[in-house]
Amino acid sequence: MKTAFVTGATSGIGRAIALELSRAGYEVVAAGRSAAALQALAADGITPLVLDVTDRNAVRQALSGLRIDLLVNNAGIMPPLANFADAELADIDAAIAVNLSAVVALTRLAVPQMRERGSGHVIFTGSAAGHAAFPNMAVYSATKAGISGFAAALRADLAPHGIRVTEIVPGRVETALYQHILDPEARAAMYASKSVQPEDVARMVRAVVELPEWADVTRFDIMPTRPATPVSR
């Protein structure tokens, strides 16, 4: 049985992906910071792992001796929406640490074993904000643009070894990402028309990983059919 390691699995896209991969026959290790949310996943046969992805020592220990066939780098945060000139340095540092630095470090620990085996798959949850400019999202956009560039260059490094790399580029997905930075009225306006659901993204991920190993979907964009306010992920 193949093993999938999914970060940010306590809610939203990460949780949906963990459940879908479990249904697809993967042994899933679901990592996140909420023990209660992870325990709920354990009831579905998923292995919970309480983990702060910015803790380098904890991540190294968690991956030690663990075979990873599929790595899903999904953990991410949204800093407060604001003009960059008003952004707090602590919020900037946190977004870069979680959304970019931790992703690069975790991937560095996981891919050598894939290269040794000559197979594996690395998936990144990016964002439409990494490919287009939106106001009040400069730092978030920078981290997601960094993920896009990293994914493309990583693919160039690893493709000769039979390792696939995929970037997910979601548009408006109904998740808890904005729960603490938008008031209920703003969230209601954002989701006034039907948004992409986390389960929709998860089904696309399953379709991608179930392709034969000689086929690599390098990037897929998933957007709501009907437009709304220009806010991503």
pLDDT class of 230 with cuts at 50, 70, 90: very low
What is residue 186's predicted lDDT score, i.e. its pLDDT?
52
Model confidence at 185: pLDDT above 70: no
Fold of 3-222: Rossmann fold (3.40.50)
Q: What is the pTM of this model?
A: 0.90
- DSSP one-letter code for 156: H
What is residue 232's predicted lDDT score, i.e. its pLDDT?
46
Mean predicted confidence (pLDDT) in 67-94:
97
Q: Catalytic site residues?
A: 140
Evaluated on CA atoms 166, 60, 7, 22, the torsion sign reads positive
Mean predicted confidence (pLDDT) in 89-116:
98
Model confidence at 64: pLDDT above 70: yes
**How far, in Å, CA of 183 to CA of 131, rounded?**
26
Domain chopping of the chain, boundaries: 3-222
CB contact set of 124 (below 8 Å; sequence gap of 6+): 73, 103, 147, 150, 151, 165, 166, 167, 168
What is residue 174's predicted lDDT score, i.e. its pLDDT?
73
Residue type, 18: A
Beta bridge partners of 11: none
**How far, in Å, CA of 54 to CA of 4, rounded?**
20
**How far, in Å, CA of 191 to CA of 228, rounded?**
8
**How far, in Å, CA of 48 to CA of 215, rounded?**
30
Model confidence at 231: pLDDT above 50: no
Beta bridge partners of 170: 222
pLDDT per residue over 152-163, tens digit each? 999 999 999 999
What is residue 179's predicted lDDT score, i.e. its pLDDT?
56
CA-nearest of 136, 162, 143 to 214 is 162
How are strands ordered across the β-sheet holding 47-50? 47-50, 27-32, 3-6, 70-73, 120-125, 163-170, 219-222
CA-nearest of 44, 59, 79 to 5 is 59
pLDDT per residue over 82-92, tens digit each? 999 999 999 99
Mean predicted confidence (pLDDT) in 169-188:
66
